[in-house]
Every structure is written in structure tokens, then in C-alpha cells.
Amino acid sequence: MAAAITLTETNPVLTKATGGGGVQAATLTDTNPDVTKAAGGGGRGAPILTDTNPDPGVFGIPTCTTDAPTLIASRQAVLNGTLDDDGNEACDCGFEWGLTVAYGNVTATQSRTIGQTFDQTIVDLKPGTIYHFRALATNDQGPDQGLDRSFTTRGPGGLSAAIELL
């Protein structure tokens, strides 16, 4: 009897070695599989499925970097980040920030894809105060947080801001 195969892709690579016999059925649902029936195989054995063309639609958790803050003033600062890997889907990117590494505040998010930067201005800060922040990126697969950074707002006398990567 001939082997029966149901395919859900348009260009699979299927090979059945000579000498095989018996009835066999396979259903392929991967987008680019290569299926090989081992030589000399007979009976009702299942084919060997090897995916040599991974599906480009596979999604993963994003990764992001916390970049140095800019435009630090006595009562505001601009937080900056980079989306290093989006996991093959657009991500919501923003920041956690606060007086300690417990943060306590979250900014609005911006939709970004791989390699894009994002920023948020935070306001109503206290002059001469150390603030901590880190970048956030989230997609349907999960979240990522960049490393903590800190900065000091300018004091009442216009002191320069200090930036530290912890």
C-alpha cells in the first residue's frame, strides 16, 4: 500500500527510502519541515521529523538596555532605553523609577521594535536628590528589565548631575 500524507504547508521536502512497505500516515503542521522515512523501514512506523528551516514566526521574550539619562535638571530628567531584541513582535517599552531600587513609579509606554530607542521625561522631582531607574520591555511572551541606573537632580544652586551605573 502507498503511504498517505496530509500536508499543511506548500513546499515540504518528503523522502521515503526504497524498500519500505506497509501503510503509513503523517500529518505535518510545521511551516517548513523536512520529513525522511528511514531506509528499509516497513510496517506502520512513524516518519522521522527534522526541522532544518526554523519557523521565522517564533516569538520570544524581549531584551532591553537602560541608557544614560539626559537633560537632567532640578525638577525633571529624560530617561532613555534601547530595545535590543523584540522577540519578533512589537513591545511596550517604558521605565520604572523612584528614590530606591524598589522604584515605585512606572512611566507610560511606547511601542517599539528591535533596535529602536525610547525615552520618557519624568517631572516633579526634588532638587539635589538621587533617583534610580531601569528600562522595561514587554511583549506577549513576557517582560524584561534593564540594569538599574541612578542620577542626581541638580541642586538649588545648579549643581551638575552625577550618573552611576550600578
Residue 56 resides in a domain = no
Question: Are 101 and 22 contained in the same domain?
Answer: no
Distance CA 102, CA 139 (A): 23
d(CA 138, CA 86): 9
Residues 38 and 75 in one domain: no
Whether 90 has a pLDDT exceeding 60, the answer reads yes
Nearest alpha-carbon partner for 1 in 17, 28, 22: 22
Looking at the fold, whether 145 and 87 belong to one and the same domain comes out as yes
- The verdict on 20 and 68 lying in the same domain is no
- Determine what percent of the chain is predicted with pLDDT higher than 70: 60
pLDDT the model gives residue 23: 46
**In the prediction, which pLDDT does 27 show?**
45
User: What mean pLDDT do residues 94-103 have?
Assistant: 98
Q: Clarify whether residues 114 and 41 are in a common domain.
A: no
Q: What is the pLDDT of residues 119-159, one digit of tens each?
A: 999 999 999 999 999 999 999 999 999 999 999 999 976 55
CA gyration radius, the chain: 27
Q: At 35, which helix (H) or strand (E)?
A: strand 34-37
Cell numbers given for 25: 500516515
- For 10-65, the pLDDT digits (tens) are 444 544 445 555 444 444 445 555 544 445 555 555 555 444 554 556 789 999 99
Residue 55 inside a domain? The answer is: no
Counted domains in the chain: 2
- pLDDT score of 104 more than 60: yes
User: Which pLDDT does position 58 carry in this prediction?
Assistant: 78
88 and 15 in a common domain: no
| Cα–Cα nearest to 23, from 49, 54, 2 | 2
CB 155 within 8 A of CB 74: yes
Q: What is the CATH number of the domain that holds 140?
A: 2.60.40.10
What's the pLDDT at 47? 52
Q: Please indicate, yes or no, if residue 127 is contained in any of the structural domains.
A: yes
Residue 98 half-sphere exposure toward CB, CA atoms < 13 A: 8
Hey, how many other C-beta atoms are within 10 angstroms of the C-beta on 102? 8
Positive/negative CA dihedral, 92, 93, 98, 102: positive
Same domain, 72 and 153: yes
Coil, strand or helix at 96: strand
* Pairwise CA distance, residues 123 & 126, whole Å: 9
Residues 117 and 152 grouped into a single domain: yes
Average pLDDT estimate for 82-88? 96
Which residues, 6 or more positions from 10, have their beta carbon under 8 angstroms from its beta carbon? none
44 shares a domain with 67: no
Q: Which domain holds residue 25?
A: 4-50
